[in-house]
A = this chain, B = another copy of it.
Amino acid sequence: MTEIQRPGALYQQVAAAIREAILAGEFAPDSLLPSEAQLMARYGVSRPTVRNAIAALRAEGLIDVRHGKGSFVRADGQPALTIERRVSRTADGRFVMPNGDVWDEAEEPSTYRTRTTKATGRLLELGEEEALFGCDRLLVDSGTGTRAMHRTLIPFEVAEGVPLLAEEPCKRPAAIYWVLTQAGHKLWWSETVRAHMPLPDERTTLQLPDATPILHLARITHGTDDRPLILEELRVGADRAELAYRITADKQPARRART
């Protein structure tokens, strides 16, 4: 039994001891930590205390626990998939998404009609309760197995001005961009990035491990008059994916966007 003398509650002292051992490299990645019974004996505490300490380390994403097997040090290598958030055009004017080739559709896309919420209305610079086409996709990267949820929202107002959209709005983004360009728009995009913890249904559909945040992107396609035309949302687990952007210097001082 090892004595511990640290600030805070007992389980935090145990958690801190294990954490430091992990961060110091005393346990190799993917290696097995001592079992709960061993930790009880090692630190002279009860099982709830040990489990509380382990729960803290799980919430930090330091370890994975597998029922019947034990606790394993999580390997924190870099994400397997880098999602390039860029838009390219070929010589003949078609749009090419840098990652367009890696994503497969894991399910049939589901198309529906809905209305703006407060959040989506703000992004599209519309009021609430405006009519929208919606299309949800579940994407899978066949190479790494990374899954992502993709949603496209197109205001009726926009689709009405673009016949090819009104007929069949559930296209892949690159095709939508091309249709908009054919309708006379010169496009640019703004994108906001957030992260949050998944709800249970997001956890299951994205097959996320413990303590894994979701990267949540909202991309807005702007037309010639800079008005928002389309909103795309992408949700992907932050354990296996990272985002990549390219930035070049603006000539003008930044203007104020979004009040």
Contacts and interface: CB of A to CB of B under 8 A. Distances in A.
In this complex, which of A16, A193, A214, A215 has the most chain B Cβ atoms within 10 angstroms of its Cβ?
A: A193
Q: For chain A, what secondary structure do more than half of its interface residues adopt (helix, strand, loop), or is it mixed?
A: mixed
Interface stretch (A82-90, A132-140, A160-168): A82-90
Contact of A238 (B76, B196, B245): B196
A90 B252 CA distance: 6
Contacts of A84: 254, 257
A244 B197 contact: no
Q: In the complex this chain forms, how many copies of it are found?
A: 2
A253 B96 contact: yes
A250 interface: yes
A254 B96 contact: yes
A55 interface: yes
Given A187-B249, A188-B248, A213 B195 contact: yes
Nearest to A198: B60
A86 B247 contact: yes
B257 A244 contact: yes
A88 B251 CA distance: 6
B194 A88 contact: no
A47 B104 CA distance: 46
A194 B243 CA distance: 7
Given A85-B245, A193-B245, A194-B242, 7 more contacts: A19-B199, A61-B196, A76-B196, A88-B251, A89-B249, A188-B246, A190-B246
